[in-house]
Amino acid sequence: MKHIGYCNELKRFWNQDFLCSMLCKKIIKMIVKEANKNDKKNEILFADLFECYVMLQDIDMPQKLLKVCMPCLLKVASNKERSKEARREGEMALITLNRIYSFEVIEKEMFLNEIKEIIQYHQEHHNLTWLAYQSAWQFLIERLYNNNNLKRAVVNELRFVKEATNELEELTKYVNWKKEKGQKETKEIRILKRWQCLISVNFCDCRSDKNECVDFIECITRLCRAARDTHAEIIKKCFDIFAEIMKQLQLSVIANFFLKSDAFDLALGKILQSTLNDAISCGCMRFFLETSISLKSKMANETDEAKRKVIKKETLDKMEEEGYEDAIASFHKKFVYLNCCYFSRLAKNIADYFVNI
């Protein structure tokens, strides 16, 4: 059952009938029975039962069991053994924690110190699997909303952007991209996509210093180039991430790195392809839209305002050389369709995509 739950999470299988089954009711009874034993409960059995229940259903865990179940899962996830079996059990525990959606009833005191310790120990000893490490981060990042103390811990103590960069770099190098085309999606690709989704949705909550941000942009650019012939979904997510980064970059970073990087050239190159994938075109235009918004924003002082106008002029010249304006205009009638399919909130007004002085 744990293996089925593992596939359910990693491969997105759905078990809509499980909640109505006698098996589900039996597992709940067993969990309650073990929970009521207090000091005498079998913690291994208890963790196994809890993982089976959570991994095979898609509603919140009954709140009264959370305070009993979470310490057991955290204990399994905190096991520092490096045996294959221990690593797999730790992976299962961390994935299970991610499927507990009751944000409002999980107080940070129930998990913060343990999850931080798991991440910090891995940073030093590399005892977790790729999926387990991503799951530990996901559990923290998804609880950042309205929690400034947790944000500071994620950014300053645990260095989320640096760690995400390292993980994506390692996965990008590990994947044999030449063999990926037409092949069944590998576990490493799924983990890579999980990192992308986590970064794309939450990057604005994990602001980093300039050097880490530059390294991260270079990493995403290399990933985009590696996946260009095989994975349209990965490429689209790369441009979604670029768009999120563009929302928070300082003018100096935009001027000195982003607009001169391969990221911008990749986007311009993609948007001009005659066989452009809809998902990729949507990602590119979202990136261009955020670029335009950033460069249209008024600066606080005259010096920065003058710099902004220079950067805008350089950007406009580069776009004109590549035929960017005609390319964007050709998508005018497809904006509504792309918004409906990809929920990217693209502007319907073409003028919003042009960087005008």
The residue-averaged pLDDT of 160-167 equals 92
Distance CA(150)–CA(157), nearest Å, equals 10
Residue 55: both structure tokens together: 């991994």
Residues 198-235, buried b or exposed e (16+ Cβ, 10 A)? bbbebbebbebeeebbbbbbbbbbbbbbbbbebbbbbb
The residue-averaged pLDDT of 319-345 equals 86
Contact 33, 41 (CB under 8 A): no
Residue 219: predicted pLDDT = 92
Residue 125: predicted pLDDT = 92
The residue-averaged pLDDT of 192-218 equals 78
The residue-averaged pLDDT of 19-24 equals 84
Distance CA(313)–CA(295), nearest Å, equals 10
Of all residues in the chain, the percent with pLDDT exceeding 70 is 88
Residue 169: predicted pLDDT = 96
Q: Using 50, 70 and 90 to split pLDDT, how confident is the model at 40? A: confident
Pairwise pLDDT comparison (169 vs 101), residue with the higher score: 169
Q: Using 50, 70 and 90 to split pLDDT, how confident is the model at 107? A: low
User: What are the distances in angstroms from CA 37 to CA 28, 31, 159, 344?
Assistant: 15, 10, 40, 50
Contact 129, 83 (CB under 8 A): no
Residues 165-187, buried b or exposed e (16+ Cβ, 10 A)? bebbbebbeebebeebeeeeeee
The residue-averaged pLDDT of 40-45 equals 82
Pairwise pLDDT comparison (56 vs 88), residue with the higher score: 88
Q: pLDDT per residue over 112-144, tens digit each? A: 788 889 999 999 999 999 999 999 998 888 777
* Residue 134: partners with Cβ closer than 8 Å, 6 or more residues away: 167, 191, 194, 195, 198
